Amino acid sequence: MAQGTYIRVHVDSVEKPRYRTRKNEIATNVLGVCTPDMQFIYVLPGWEGSAADGRVLRDAINRRHGLKVPQEFYYLCDVGYTNGEGFLTPYRGQRYHLNEWRQGRQLATPQEYFNMKHSQARNLIKRCFGILKKRWGILRETSFYLVRTQCRIISACCLLYNFIRNELPTDPIKSGVGKVCSVEDDKEDSGEVIRHVDTSVTWTAWRDNLAQEIFKTWMSSRNM
């Protein structure tokens, strides 16, 4: 799962327009990627709050020690990203957030069912960021370190988050909320990885087929 989050930072006045988010906060746009067991496997802090999520992702996969996405694998992303090879986004214009189904509305189309299952799975990265910010107060408030130092603090907090998850059987903060690694080593990639994030007819068709398949499976199970 991959998602961006904003963490407030302190910058010089001349830099504030670039770091200003749509909510008028001065923040860095942090890309985070986690595994199904809620471990951070990649974090990229430092981008200005005004930067689009898609731009941050493109930078991440083009860095020498950036995010590695092997061919035939993909991450779940929100609609702020491009639905392209290696990055699976929900359908636009369809219900998505889990609370929209908790109101008793029925699923009617493959696209709606796909969006619901996508939202359930991608909720893990939201929980990761929620726990991270709840545990480390320095990530909830604006600090007065230089931006470069603040970005190192963000990465360090993610590393400690992973360490605690590995070493602490029961995490009290996790219950309250419902190895960050940039894969930075000098080894060559052992296989082909995705280098571009672009829409394609093939990927769109693959998502449509997946939506149809899981919807049919769900309908069949209901009729048994």
Segments in the chain forming alpha helices (H): 16-19, 53-62, 110-135, 147-167, 172-176, 201-223
pLDDT attached to residue 156:
96
> Would you tell me how many other CB atoms lie within 10 Å of the CB of residue 81?
23
Task: Please give the share of the chain, as a percent, with pLDDT higher than 70.
Answer: 85
pLDDT of 82 above 70: yes
Q: pLDDT band for position 219 (50/70/90)?
A: confident
In this prediction, residue 141 carries a pLDDT of 86
pLDDT surpasses 80 at 158: yes
Residues forming a β-bridge with 31: 4, 44
Residues 50-74 as b/e (b if ≥16 CB within 10 A, e otherwise) read ebebbebbbbbbeeeebbbbeeeeb
For tokens 């994030």, name the residue.
197
Beta strands 75-76 and 87-88, pairing class:
parallel
pLDDT band at 72 (very low <50, low <70, confident <90, very high): confident
Distance, in Å, from the CA atom of 191 to the CA atom of 157, rounded to the nearest integer, reads: 31
C-alpha span between 54 and 102 (Å, rounded): 30
Q: Which carries the bigger pLDDT value, residue 130 or residue 96?
A: 130
Q: With contact defined as beta carbons under 8 Å apart, do 19 and 27 qualify?
A: yes
The pTM of this model reads 0.83
**Lowest model confidence (mean pLDDT) among 96-105, 134-143, 175-184:** 175-184
What integer pLDDT is reported at residue 172 of this predicted model? Answer: 63
Asked if residue 190 has pLDDT above 50, the reply is no
| Span 207-213, average pLDDT | 96
Given a cut of 50, whether residue 121 has pLDDT beyond it is: yes
pLDDT score of 106 more than 80: no
Comparison of pLDDT for 43 and 71, the residue scoring more: 43
Domain map (residue ranges) of the chain: 2-223
Longest dimension (CA), the chain: 64
Q: Which of 156, 182, 178, 167 is nearest to 67 (CA)?
A: 182
- pLDDT at 107 (0 to 100): 77
The DSSP secondary structure of 20-48, one letter per residue, reads B-TTS-BEEEEEEEE-TTS-EEEEEEEEE
192-199: average pLDDT: 78
Which residue, 43, 58, 4, is CA-closest to 153? Answer: 43
Q: Length of the chain in residues, anyone?
A: 224
Q: Which residues contact 130 (CB under 8 A, 6 or more apart)?
A: 177, 178
pLDDT of 188 higher than 70:
no
